[in-house]
Amino acid sequence: MQKNTYIIPSIIIGVAMILAVVVGAFTFIASRSFDNTLSVTGSTSKKVVADRATWSMSLSRQAAEFDLSTAYAGVARDLITAKKFLISNGILESAITVTPAMANQQYRSDQSGPRQFEVRQTISVESNDPSAIDRLSKATDALTSQGMIISVDQPQYFYSKLSELRVSLLGAAITDARDRAEQIAKSAKTSVGALKAASSGVVQVLSPTSIDVSDYGQYDTSSIDKNIMVTVRATFFVK
């Protein structure tokens, strides 16, 4: 019994020493795994010019409920005038979309008298010439001077080659990340090795002077000139 008394503690001590070695080895390996990599964020941007634009305006006429036909007829005449205006300014008829005319009752605090309605119809255009759309949106006085009642939306400008550009920008962003990593490694008297992993951030499409980035990405449609920015999170081995 006395012999067993010495054996059991010895076994426990031996197992504990083995576990200590294993844990120590794992800690050493884990430490090396963390110590020999460096993660940095790289970014790059490029200025582009929009190559597609959309724009819309609405025509409207008001009339009492017993005179809706007059309002519809007025909007129909306005539509002919508006389409001639667009076509004369370089917009193809095939690029013009017209919604059906709709009548909506107008709210009035004074409910006496006949109900009043507004007949409204929307015209939308799309063009590969954003400059033409920009000029059109600023020249609608040619329509209002003829007594037409119109409301105009702001043009929206897009860059159609964004997906192709994003690929080349990602490569440049990784290069920027490596440059940053090398500056950090230099101060620590080490050197940067191969790329271990990289993940791209969202694309930011900004106006030329904007810094209003978003975690979910940003797409500015208000300006023809744009600044497209891409970020990457890159991890490099350090030697």
pLDDT tens, position by position, 147-181: 999 999 999 999 999 999 999 999 999 999 999 99
Condensed to tens digits (0 to 9), the pLDDT of residues 33-48 reads 455 899 999 999 999 9
CA dist., res. 163 & res. 142, Å (int)? 39
Q: Which of 63, 76, 149, 50 is nearest to 113 (CA)?
A: 63
56 contact partners, CB below 8 Å, separation of at least 6:
122, 123, 124, 125, 152, 153
Per-residue confidence (pLDDT) for residue 35, from 0 to 100: 58
Q: How far is CA 29 from CA 22, 34, 73, 148, in A?
A: 11, 9, 82, 78
Q: Is the pLDDT of residue 106 over 80?
A: yes
pLDDT digits (tens, 9 = 90+) for 49-95: 999 999 999 999 999 988 999 999 999 999 999 999 999 998 999 99
Was domain 52-158 assigned CATH 3.30.70.2970? yes
The CATH architecture to which 39-49+161-238 belongs is 2-Layer Sandwich (3.30)
* pLDDT band, residue 216 (cuts 50/70/90): confident
Element (H, E) at 178: helix 162-187
How buried is 127 (Cβ within 10 angstroms: 0-12 exposed, 13-18 middle, 19+ buried)?
A: buried
Pairing of strands 218-219, 204-206: parallel
CB atoms within 10 A of CB 126: 18
Which sequence spans correspond to the domains of the chain?
A: 1-35, 39-49+161-238, 52-158
Q: How far is CA 133 from CA 73, 78, 163, 192, in A?
A: 28, 20, 24, 50
What mean pLDDT comes out for the span 200-214? 87
Check pLDDT > 70 for residue 105: yes
Geometric angle at alpha carbon 66, from 64 and 72, rounded to 5°: 75
